[in-house]
Amino acid sequence: MKTESSALLDVGGRFRARGTLEFPALKRGLYSMVLACTFSAAMSALFFLAFKNEPGLSVRTGSFLRVLANCLVLSLMVRKKRKSFRFFGNREASLWLWGLFGTLAVLTFYEGIARSGVALASLFQGLSGVVLIAMGPIILKQKNSFRTWVALIGSLAGFVLIKLNSNQPTSFQGLDLCAVSGIAAGLAYLMSAKASKNNSAEVIMFYWCLFCLIAHLFLWVLTPMQWPMGVSTWIFLLVASVLASLSQYFTTVAYALTPAAPVASLGYLTPVLGLAIDLLIFRIPHGVTELVGSMVVIVFGVWLPFLGADSVKK
C-alpha cells in the first residue's frame, strides 16, 4: 500500500516527482525531522550560551554567522559534483518564494527575539504549523487525514502549554515581527516542499543562502553588526551556526519525503528537547505545565505521525 505525497529521494540525494510515497521514504522523512529538531534545540542552547557570555551582542550577528555556515555546508555538499551541479535548479517560482519567505522568517525571528524575548518569539513560530495545515491542501495538493488534524492540533496545544508558562522575561514589543516570522516560516516551508518535487535539497539551500546573504549585507551597510569579543562566544556561535545549517538541511529533506502536516506537528518536538536541555545541562527548573505540555507534544506530535507511518504496509 502507498500513501499520497509529492516526492521520493533517490540514492544520489536528488528529488524526483512522484504521485505516491513509499513506506521507507515516509519513515525517513519523519526521522529526518527528528534529527532537525535535535540540531535546532542544540543550536538554541549554544546561542543562549553565546548571548549569556556577551549580553550586548547583536542578534543579527548570530543570524549572519548562520548564513555563512549554511554557505560553507552547501559548498562542502556540492564540491564533488560542482561541474554538473546547477545551483539555480529549474528556476521555478516556488524556489524564489522559498528564498524570500525564508529570509523574511529568519530576520524577523531574530529581531523578534531582541524585542520580545525568546519565549514569545518561539510561541509565534507555532503559526507556521497552522499555515502549513491550512494551505497544504491548496498549494501542495496533500489531503489531511483526521489523524493528521489531531496530531497537529494536539502538538500545537502542547506547544502553547510549554511556552505560555515560560520563566523567560518577555515584553509585548515587536509581537508584529514575531507573528510575521511565524507566518513567513509556514509559507517558506510550503514553498520548500513544493520546490523539492523537482529540485535537490542543495538547490533549495542555495536559494535560502542567496537571499539571506544579500539581505544581511544590505542591513550591514545600514547598521554595522557588533562582533563577539571572547573566544568562547565565537565557538558557541560558530558551532550553533553549523547545527542550524544541518537542521535546515534535514528539515528540507523531511518536507520532501513526507506530507507537510505530519512534519509540521513533529516540528514541535524542538521546544520539548529544549526543556530537556534546560533541565539536564543548565539546571533550569520548569513547572508542571511545561512538563504536561511536553508529554502532549510527544504523544500528538511524535507518536501519532510515527504510528501512522507504521500502519502503512509495503
CA distances from 79 to 6, 82, 93, 109 (A): 28, 5, 26, 31
For the cut 90, the answer to whether the pLDDT of residue 8 exceeds it is no
Whole-model pTM: value is 0.72
- How far apart CA 128 and CA 140 sit, in angstroms, is 15
- Kindly report the three-state secondary structure assignment for every residue of 148-173: HHHHHHHHHHHHHHHHHCCCCCCCCC
Question: What pLDDT band is residue 191 in, cutting at 50, 70 and 90?
Answer: very high
pLDDT digits 0-9 by tens, 226-275: 788 889 889 988 898 888 888 888 888 888 888 877 787 777 777 777 77
For the cut 50, the answer to whether the pLDDT of residue 64 exceeds it is yes
Contact yes or no for 132/184 (Cβ under 8 A) = no
For the cut 80, the answer to whether the pLDDT of residue 213 exceeds it is yes
> Mean pLDDT of all residues in the chain?
74
How far, in whole angstroms, is CA 191 from its chain's centroid?
13
* pLDDT score recorded for residue 225: 75
* pLDDT score recorded for residue 104: 92
Q: Of 177 and 250, which is predicted with more confidence?
A: 250
- Kindly report the three-state secondary structure assignment for every residue of 1-43: CCEECCEEECCCCCEEECCEECHHHHHHHHHHHHHHHHHHHHH
Q: Of 299 and 18, which is predicted with more confidence?
A: 299
Contact yes or no for 105/184 (Cβ under 8 A) = yes
Greatest mean pLDDT among 53-67, 107-121, 194-208, 271-285 lies in: 194-208
Query: For residues 44-77, b (16+ Cβ closer than 10 Å) or e, as one string?
Result: bbbbbbbbebbeebbbbbbbbbbbbbbbebbeeb
pLDDT digits 0-9 by tens, 269-297: 777 777 777 777 767 666 677 677 777 77
Q: What is the mean pLDDT of residues 183-202?
A: 86
* pLDDT score recorded for residue 263: 80
Q: Which residues contact 32 (CB under 8 A, 6 or more apart)?
A: 250, 251, 253, 254, 257
pLDDT digits 0-9 by tens, 96-111: 999 999 999 888 877 7
Q: What distance separates the 2 farthest-apart alpha carbons in the chain? A: 57
Percent of the chain with pLDDT over 90: 8
* pLDDT score recorded for residue 103: 92
Query: For residues 124-144, b (16+ Cβ closer than 10 Å) or e, as one string?
Result: bbbbbbbbbbeebeeebebeb
pLDDT digits 0-9 by tens, 108-164: 877 766 665 555 556 566 677 777 777 777 787 777 677 777 777 777 777 777 666
C-alpha cell at 43: 543550536
Q: Which residues contact 253 (CB under 8 A, 6 or more apart)?
A: 9, 28, 29, 32, 201
Which residues are paired to 3 by β-bridges? 21
Q: What is the mean pLDDT of residues 27-55?
A: 83
